[in-house]
A and B are shown apart, each in its own frame.
Chain A
Amino acid sequence: MSETKEKKGWFSRLRDGLKRSSSAISGGITDIFTKRKLDDDVIEELEELLISADLGVATAARISANIAKTRYDKEIAPEEIRAALAEEVTAILDPVAAPFVLDESRKPHVVLVVGVNGSGKTTTIGKFAKQYRAAGKKVVLAAGDTFRAAAVEQLQIWGQRTGCDVITTKVGGDAAGLAFSAVEKAKADGADLLLIDTAGRLQNKSDLMAELEKILRVIKKLEPDAPHSCLLVLDATTGQNALSQVEIFGKICNVTGLVMTKLDGTARGGVLVAIADKFGLPVHAIGVGESEDDLQPFAANDFARALSGAGDT
């Protein structure tokens, strides 16, 4: 893996980020399983550990049951259970781990970025812009958050940092109109990638979701296939509500992939497992810090191992 040669390999970054969370799980596992038989009590405790990593009741129960299936009533070592847990989680996550692929034939590849307030949409766009600029692509950013104070300025600063054009309108302006002119401009400039930021919105606010629909309609007038990708940004600290976010955003704007941010805290992002289980949407990247380089492709095995603490031993 070439990334490991960087100042700090991405796996170790992820591990650093997830260690704090997984150490709680693996510590928990050691507590449960040292010299113990895998009986109903133990299964329940394992289930609870998974629940406290935000995997949700149903997913936690299913994974625990799977682990118990072949090992019931046997003496089992903590390492073994960690490996089994990592295996189960990998099995669920592997099909959804798919990096974001820029479609070079599009000119521009239009990406709409959506999510609830404060999930990290603008920061994620900044990080994406940095990566594709570094790869020599022409990237245009559209400051579609016309609601929050200084959101436009925030994206403009990212534009300056990364050397991308930023299309803006006035605060309170029409986001759909802005998206339209951004697509127009990006086409005219022959850009490779257009990243459209949107205002954060809670998925149960029907008026704000209707606004999102309008943005989609307007973009399609210029580019019937656009947006070619729609990324939903999820905050790792979010609990089971993330399921509702995926469901409703998915329904409204046909989400094509997920990005999970803030995995550098103690939040375990276990809800991603529940989401993968239920929706099977591709997970493109994870955010493990605030700097430009902290957006990493999502690798199921590493995530699972970090989550279950299997890599620690």
Chain B
Amino acid sequence: MFESLTGRLGDVLGRLTKRGALTEADVTEALREVRVALLEADVALPVVKSFIKRVKTRAVGTEVLKSVNPAQMVIKVVHDQLIEMLGSEQQELNLVAVPPVVYMMVGLQGSGKTTSTAKIAKWLTEKQSKKVMMASLDVRRPAAQEQLKILGEQTNIATLPIIEGQMPVDIAKRAVQSAKLQGIDVVLLDTAGRLHVDESLMAEMDAVHKESHPTETLLVVDSLTGQDAVNVAEQFKSRVDVTGIVMTRIDGDGRGGAALSMREVTGCPIKLLGTGEKLDELEAFHPDRIANRILGMGDIVSLVEKAAETIEKDEAEKLALKMQKGMFDLDDLASQLRQMRKMGGMNSLVGMLPGVGKMKKQLDAANLDDKLLVRQEAMIQSMTPKERRNPQIIAASRKKRIAAGSGMSVQDVNRLLKQHKQMAGMMKKVKKLGKKGIARGGMQGLLPPGMKL
């Protein structure tokens, strides 16, 4: 989402880095481009203005002119300011209330409320072990209630039975009562999309809010939204006590300026990000990490977290055991390939590495596609269990068979085997490092000679 902004700021700041000592004019020029970049990224105008002003006061003058490395200084100021703009720390969903805790979802039409409701329900169920129920208060859009019901069936989460013709406030009342009776921990109220200028619907939202006393009132905002995002947020906040913001469609190629302005203007924290169409594609919002990403400093922490979550524990343990013995067969390679695909494929992993922001376009062009992973897996699946355990028995005729079985060429099979051999070699090195561990030998020990981190 933030690549384009990253690219733009990268260019500007890159030029600063190359120049050495900075003049005041340089800072002004750089900030003018930062301003255009932010505006093109759909950051709200007032936010851009205050941002530029703050950076300027800090950057121009003593701070920059007298510092040893002026470019670094400017980057630091821009970075600090970005973090400040995004909100200084991560805010979790609030679950501290007498159950059933009520969450109310509000927003414009088509912002992604229903999908986000299901995602949050799934997230609370799986990660917080909560008993969750969802209820649709959308009596306007055709089949909206049906949509939530189907999502409930898909995720195995209870939904409030639909009663035709019941009005939103009554549905909310019934949802809370029913949740009480069933011992539900969290009840999610998905409301109809409404325009913030539609008085009758805003009044209805207000009434639902008063009726259900939500602990969280989450405003769902499309991250592709333009300058209007801020009007929307302000209007909703003035009617109900919005407690947090959910940004959706972060996986689009929008520059996400709405995310940047939202916190600054409304004071509401951005709590969650919707990162895809699938129901597990929901992430916590880390302002510092997003700010880092904007500046092209990567998002290693997110990468590690994501990896840790996806790799099932037992598989990891199994692999660790094998690594200790210096063993790594083709089955292990296959399971690694599967993990990589689960984590969102190569592009998504690469995108999180630092310094890749600028390269990302080239990578996309190079079509670093996930078909490669699928194909490699197919080749491994075309091998017998015996071959997978002992790759050395794979001679020419077996290679032909594997290639035919997976629809690949013998050269592809050779490439895969070579790759596996290198990885197995690395595993042996891990064993040699032994109890002293990687910590002592450092990652350097694992890399081929001549390569430095």
Q: A-side interface residues toward B, CB under 8 Å?
A: 20-21, 48, 51-54, 56-57, 116-120, 123, 126, 147-151, 153-154, 156-158, 171, 202-205, 235-242, 244, 262, 264-268, 271, 290
Contacts and interface: CB of A to CB of B under 8 A. Distances in A.
B110 A120 contact: yes
B423 interface: no
Contacts of B226: 54, 237-242, 267, 271
Contact of A150 (B150, B222, B258): B150
Contacts of B357: none
B239 to A, nearest CB: 14
B42 A239 contact: yes
Given A54-B228, A266-B228, A237 B108 contact: yes
Nearest to A158: B142
B256 to A, nearest CB: 9
Interface of B: 36, 39-42, 44-45, 108-112, 140-144, 146-151, 154, 195-197, 222, 224-229, 231-232, 235, 249, 251-255, 257-258, 277
Contacts of A236: 228
Contacts of B142: 126, 153-154, 157-158
Contacts of A202: 249, 251-253
19 contacts: A57-B36, A118-B222, A149-B154, A151-B143, A154-B143, A154-B144, A157-B142, A203-B253, A235-B222, A237-B229, A239-B224, A239-B229, A239-B257, A240-B40, A240-B226, A242-B226, A262-B108, A266-B196, A266-B197
Contact of B253 (A244, A271, A290): A244
B228 A268 contact: yes
Nearest to B256: A241
B127 to A, nearest CB: 22
Q: Which of B229, B235, B253 has the most CB of A within 10 A?
A: B253
Contacts of B109: 118, 120, 262, 290
A241 to B, nearest CB: 4
- Nearest 6 interchain pairs by C-beta: A239-B226, A118-B110, A150-B147, A239-B42, A157-B142, A153-B143
Nearest to A61: B36
Contact of A237 (B140, B146, B154, B225): B225
A126 B257 CA distance: 32
Q: Is the interface of A mostly helix, strand, loop or mixed?
A: loop
B453 to A, nearest CB: 32
Given A150-B149, A203-B252, 15 more contacts: A53-B227, A57-B36, A57-B39, A57-B40, A117-B112, A118-B109, A123-B141, A126-B142, A149-B146, A149-B154, A203-B253, A236-B228, A244-B253, A268-B227, A290-B140
Nearest to A153: B143
Contacts of A149: 146-148, 150-151, 154
A265 B196 contact: yes
Contacts of A126: 142
Given A52-B44, A118-B111, A239-B257, A153 B146 contact: yes
Contact of B252 (A116, A123, A151, A262): A116
Contact of A157 (B44, B143, B227, B232): B143
Nearest to B3: A204
B231 A241 contact: no
Contacts of B45: 48, 51-52
A81 to B, nearest CB: 19
A239 B254 contact: yes
Contacts of B257: 239
Contacts of B277: 117, 147
A203 B254 CA distance: 10
B249 A116 contact: yes
A239 B252 CA distance: 13
A153 B111 CA distance: 20
A21 B196 CA distance: 12
B144 A266 contact: no
A54 B42 CA distance: 8
Q: Which of A53, A157, A204 gathers the greatest number of chain B CB atoms within 10 Å? A: A204
Nearest to B152: A149
